[in-house]
Amino acid sequence: MTTEDAYIIQGGKKLKGEVTLSGAKNAALKMVIAALLFEGKVTLQNVPRIRDLDELLHLFTELGATAEFKDSNTVVIDGTGLKTNTVDLLHGSKIRSTFLLFAPLLRKFKEAHIPNPGGCRIGARPIDRIMNGLKELGGVVDYDHETGYYHARLAGKTQGEYTFEKPSHTGTEFMVMLSVFAEGTVHIHNAALEPEIDDLISFLNEGGALICREGSSIIITGVASLVQKKPYSIVSDRNEAVTFAVLGLITKGDVTVGPIEPTLLDVFVSQVKKSGGGVEIKGTNKIRFFYKGPFKASQIETEPHPGFMTDWQQNWVVLMTQAEGISTVHERVFENRFAFISELQKLGAKIEYDTTPVINPKQYYHFTYDPEKVYKQGIKIYGPQQLHSGVLTVTDLRAGATLAIAALLVPGESIVNGVSILERGYERFVEKVTKLGGEIKRI
Ligand code: EPU
């Protein structure tokens, strides 16, 4: 039995080889919920076995739905038996995606009760824009501050249109799920563009939905029911691909990731090339990342897709500790995604906050900017810096992978504590790193 929650890592080895990517966490979590909108059974393939998914499927059984794994990555979901419209506080508040359960629960019960969602503490992460969308399409929503529960009602079918003040990834997915059975046609404007959303749309359309994307607008024509005709396989995880790419580059190794549609990583790939990393697109679904000389400093601003993703920023920061010159990263999407910086500083990284104000912050940032608050959204990374081993603590999921990368870079033994946070989103991380020649042990 596991007593600790840590990795012991002997770093300093070049990581080399091929990594088979898992299904995307940020698609899988939504698709298993969307499966509850179907009549009868739904089979999903390439489902990553990660902690967030286990948590969610545990909730399913409490709600009366079934989720049965046919093999390690194929799950069969059946929402026929849904018997309660209230999501349990303990499990429901742990993951960000829980509020998406409003879609199937409102369809079945017309009323539902769901705790304020959790997820990584990388910002306040409110769901105000999303709940406004539900109201705009015909729902009634109240939030009970005492219990921490959202209560929603939707007597009829959704109808009308909704324009997001700023795009929201999960919010867009929610509006889509909510509108599958709409009255007539629902239009969602200023929708997010993440490929995982389009994967969800394909999955729903294969089951009979009528959803069509026109740039940042999504048009949904209501249908009477959804029935799956054949199993659906979830798209590969872009964020996992970036983590292993950085591992290959930073350890002066050579790592190929796949299967992945190379265009999904266009922005990352061009940034790696600009910074002096080696990249080779291999056929239609693999990308090789390899060391080909010293890295150059870079200037990054995070953005939703198709920009440089906020989820890549942490991994990129540790790579830039090895680059020549001063790199900058400005986080625009979440307001607290630099908690890992103090951990990297423990290893000798020279990173400073840059609090120079930006022009028009309300527009520039994707979170709701409060002029009364002090934000630390920019950093300067001075490189190249020789890092040393140490004892680290994971602050959030992507930061977890970043600390593991740092520990695999530096010679000697490092301990990374709190890795169950990393394992919320990375499948078989230890096994994959070991296969590339890394020395890592879970204790
Ligand atoms: N926001 C609001 N109000 C809302 C909705 C969003 O203020 O009603 C703010 C958020 O707080 C954030 C910004 O808008 O500052 C963008 O949030 P968005 O809704 O787009 O993000 P999300 O759906 O909560 C998903 C992923 C994140 C990923 C982002 C960006 C899931 C479960 N999470 O978050 O993934 O970083 O999109 O693509 O899909 C991760 O995998 O580690 C992770 C955090």
Report the mean per-residue pLDDT for the chain.
95
The pLDDT value given to residue 118:
64
The residue with tokens 């940032």 is 365
Average pLDDT of 82-95?
89
pLDDT band at 148 (very low <50, low <70, confident <90, very high): confident
What are the tens digits of pLDDT across the range 104-128? 999 999 999 999 876 555 555 788 8
DSSP class of residue 14 equals P
- pLDDT of amino acid 35: 98
The residues near 215 (Cβ < 8 Å, ≥ 6 apart) are none
What atom of ligand 1 comes closest to residue 305's alpha carbon?
Answer: 38
Ligand 1, atom nearest to 311 Cα: 36
CA–CA dist 422, 415 (Å, integer):
14
How confident is the model at residue 206, as a pLDDT?
A: 98
What pTM did the predictor assign?
Answer: 0.96
Q: What is the residue-wise DSSP string for 198-214? A: HHHHHHHHHTT-EEEEE
Contact 260, 236 (CB under 8 A): yes
Residues in CB range of 281: below 8 A, 6 or more apart = 262, 269, 287, 288
The secondary structure of 137-154 as a DSSP string is TT-EEEEETTTTEEEEE-
Q: How far apart are CA 379 and CA 349, in angstroms?
A: 12
What sign for the dihedral angle of Cα 341, 346, 347, 349? positive
Substitution site in 22, 25, 26, 395 for ligand 1 pocket (most atoms within 8 Å of beta carbon)? 26
Query: Does pLDDT of 2 surpass 80?
Result: no
Q: What's the CA gap between 219 and 176, in Å, rounded?
A: 9
Joined tokens for residue 20: 């088979």
Say if residue 371 is preceded by a cis peptide, omega within 30 of 0. no
Indicate which atom in ligand 1 lies nearest the CA of residue 97: 32
- Which of 22-31, 139-148, 234-243 shows the lowest mean pLDDT across its residues? 139-148
Cis? peptide before 195, omega within 30° of 0: no
Instruction: Determine which residue's CA is closest to atom 21 belonging to ligand 1.
Output: 169
- Distance from C-alpha of 115 to C-alpha of 433, rounded to nearest angstrom: 36
**Residues 6 or more apart from 180 whose CB is under 8 A from it?**
37, 103, 204, 209, 211, 220, 222, 223, 226
| Residues 366-403: tens digit of each pLDDT | 999 999 999 999 999 999 999 999 999 999 999 999 99
pLDDT for the residue numbered 274: 98
Q: If DSSP codes are grouped into helix, strand and coil, which group holds residue 329? A: strand
Distance from residue 366's CA to the centre of ligand 1 (Å):
9
pLDDT of 205 reads 98
- Phi and psi of 442, rounded to 5°? -90, 130
The DSSP bridge partners found for residue 308 are: 302
Q: Quick one: which atom of ligand 1 is closest to the CA of 368?
A: 7
Q: Report the pocket of ligand 1 as residue ranges, CB < 6 Å.
A: 25-26, 29, 96-97, 120, 122-130, 166, 168-171, 192, 194, 239, 304, 309-311, 333-334, 366-368, 397-398, 425
271-301 residue pLDDT tens: 999 999 999 999 999 999 999 999 999 999 9
Provide the terminal-to-terminal Cα distance of the chain, rounded to the nearest Å. Answer: 9
Distance 364 CA to ligand 1 centre (A): 16
> Mutation test of ligand 1: which of 100, 333, 365 has the most ligand atoms closer than 8 Å to its C-beta?
333
List the catalytic residue out of 33, 37, 47, 120.
120
Quick check: 160 pLDDT over 80?
A: yes
State yes or no: is 120 an active-site residue.
yes
CA-closest residue to ligand 1 atom 6? 168
Strand duo 66-71 + 111-115: pairing: unpaired
Report helix, strand or coil for 244. Answer: helix
Position 183 confidence tier, pLDDT thresholds 50, 70, 90: very high
Distance CA 320, CA 141 (A): 45
Question: How much is the pLDDT for 283?
Answer: 94
User: Minimal CA–CA distance to 187: which of 226, 216, 223?
Assistant: 216
The mean per-residue pLDDT over the stretch 149-156 comes to: 94
Identify the residue whose tokens are 């059974």.
41
Which H or E run includes 15? none
- Ligand 1 centroid to Cα of residue 96, in Å, is 9
